Chains A and B, each alone.
Chain A
C-alpha cells in the first residue's frame, strides 16, 4: 500500500534522487562503532541533533498551554505541569533536554577539537559550529526566564547585568534585551519568548542546515 503510494508519487515527481542524496551514503569504517567501539565519539553530533529535534517538538507542544505574560506565565506553567496529562513528561523533556543538548554539543566540540577535525578545509564548519553553540546558549538563557518564577527572574537579572557590563554598548544591549532600562518585567518576558521561539530557532535551523551541507560536501575527516 505504502509502496504503491510511493511509486505513484515517484513516477510523477522522481523523488528518489532527492532523499537518496540526503540519506544514502556510506559510513566510513573509522566512524562506525560496529568496527571500532571507540568510534562512538562520532555520535555526539548526531545526538545533539536528535535532542534538538526533541526540543523543537516538545517546545511546540508546550506553547499550546504556555502564555508569555507576567500575570499568567507562572500559572499556565503550573497548570500544564500539574493538570494536563503528561504535562510533567513533556515539560520534563524540554527541561532536561535543554541541559542535555549543551552537554552533547560540548562533547561534539571536544571530539572535533581533539581530533583536529576543524583544520583545513573544515575551518568554516567550525565557525558555524561555534555560532550554533552561541545560539544554543541564547536559547538556554531566554528559555530560563519563561516559567517566570523566582529562579528565572533572578537568573535573568544576573544575565542582563553581565550584558550591561560590556564597555560602551552595554546599557543599550541590556535595554534592547529587557525592553526597559531598569525593569525586568512584562516587556522582558514577551521579548524573551519571541527570541526563544522564533528568532533563535530560525537562526538555529539555518546554521544547522549550513553545518550539515558542509559536512556532506567535504566529507567526514579521515582516521587519526
Chain B
C-alpha cells in the first residue's frame, strides 16, 4: 500500500474530471476534425492541361500563354484562366514560368519596365527576374519564379504542376 493515500474527495474529483473530459472529447473531436478538414485533405496531383500554343511557334522571346483549368472549389466548379510565360532556351528546350511574383503574389510580365529591358517585371514593388526566372538580387523577391511542368502532344504545349524554381 502506497503512502500516498487518495482521499474520497480526490478520487471523485479525478473520476468526474476523467469522465467529463472523455465526454467532452467525444463531443468535440468530430467537430474539430470537421473544421480542420481543409488542412488535411490530400491535394490533387496536377494533370497536364492542353494550351492553345503550338510548340513550333515558340521562340526565344517569352510569350504569354493563357490556358484554362477546371477548378473544383468544394461545391463550386469553375473554369479559371491561368497564365504562363513560355519560351525556348538556348538548347531549344521549352521553359514555362509561372507569372506569380515570389514577393507577394502579383503578376509579373515580360519586358514591361523600360529601364530594365529583357527582364520579368513586377509592377507592385518593382521586383525583377532574369529571363530564366531567377530573381535579381536587390529587388524584393527572394526566390525565382515557379516553373510549370510541361509536355508536348501533337505539337501542342501541355502544362502541369507548378514546381519551385531551381537555383540559377
Instruction: Name A residues whose Cβ lies closer than 8 Å to a Cβ of B.
Output: 54, 57-58, 61, 64-65, 72, 75-76, 78-80, 83-87, 89-90, 93
Docked-complex contact B37 and A85, CB < 8 angstroms: yes
Docked-complex contact B40 and A85, CB < 8 angstroms: yes
19 CB-based A-B contacts, threshold 8 Å = A57-B28, A58-B31, A61-B31, A61-B34, A64-B35, A72-B76, A75-B76, A76-B75, A79-B74, A80-B34, A84-B37, A85-B33, A85-B37, A86-B30, A86-B31, A87-B37, A89-B30, A90-B30, A93-B27
Residue of B30, B31, B34, B74 most packed against chain A (CB within 10 A): B34
Complex interface: chain A residues within 8 A of B75 (CB): 72, 75-76, 78-79
Chain A: minimal CB distance from B115 (Å)? 47
Complex interface: chain B residues within 8 A of A80 (CB): 34
Q: Apart from A75-B75, A80-B34, A87-B37, what are 5 other A-B pairs with CB-CB below 8 Å?
A: A58-B31, A64-B35, A85-B33, A93-B27, A93-B30
Which of chain A's residues has its CB closest to B74's CB? Answer: A79
Which of chain A's residues has its CB closest to B27's CB? Answer: A54
Chain A: minimal CB distance from B70 (Å)? 17
Of A72, A76, A90, the residue contacting B34 (CB under 8 A) is A90
Chain B: minimal CB distance from A60 (Å)? 8
Give Cα distance in the complex from A89 to B76, angstroms.
Answer: 23
Of B30, B40, B74, the residue contacting A83 (CB under 8 A) is B74
Complex interface: chain B residues within 8 A of A83 (CB): 74
Complex interface: chain B residues within 8 A of A84 (CB): 34, 37
Give Cα distance in the complex from A47 to B47, angstroms.
Answer: 52
A contact patch SS: helix
Complex interface: chain A residues within 8 A of B28 (CB): 57
Docked-complex contact A90 and B74, CB < 8 angstroms: no
Give Cα distance in the complex from A56 to B74, angstroms.
Answer: 24
Chain A: minimal CB distance from B35 (Å)? 6
Complex interface: chain A residues within 8 A of B33 (CB): 85-86
Docked-complex contact A76 and B27, CB < 8 angstroms: no
B7-35 Cβ-contact flags toward A at 8 Å (1 or 0): 00000000000000000000110110111
Chain B: minimal CB distance from A46 (Å)? 13
B69-97 Cβ-contact flags toward A at 8 Å (1 or 0): 00000111000000000000000000000
Complex interface: chain A residues within 8 A of B30 (CB): 86, 89-90, 93
Complex interface: chain A residues within 8 A of B35 (CB): 61, 64
Q: Which 10 A-B pairs have the closest CB atoms?
A: A75-B75, A86-B30, A79-B75, A89-B30, A61-B31, A86-B34, A90-B34, A84-B37, A85-B37, A86-B33
Of A76, A79, A90, the residue contacting B31 (CB under 8 A) is A90
B30-49 Cβ-contact flags toward A at 8 Å (1 or 0): 11011101001000000000
Of B27, B34, B74, B76, the residue contacting A85 (CB under 8 A) is B34
Complex interface: chain B residues within 8 A of A65 (CB): 74
Give Cα distance in the complex from A78 to B75, angstroms.
Answer: 8
Give Cα distance in the complex from A72 to B75, angstroms.
Answer: 8
Which of chain B's residues has its CB closest to A60's CB? Answer: B31
Docked-complex contact B34 and A87, CB < 8 angstroms: yes
Chain A: minimal CB distance from B19 (Å)? 14
Which of chain B's residues has its CB closest to A83's CB? Answer: B74
Chain B: minimal CB distance from A73 (Å)? 10
Which of chain B's residues has its CB closest to A54's CB? Answer: B27
Complex interface: chain B residues within 8 A of A93 (CB): 27, 30
Chain B: minimal CB distance from A43 (Å)? 15
Which of chain B's residues has its CB closest to A58's CB? Answer: B31
Give Cα distance in the complex from A84 to B74, angstroms.
Answer: 9
Which of chain B's residues has its CB closest to A89's CB? Answer: B30
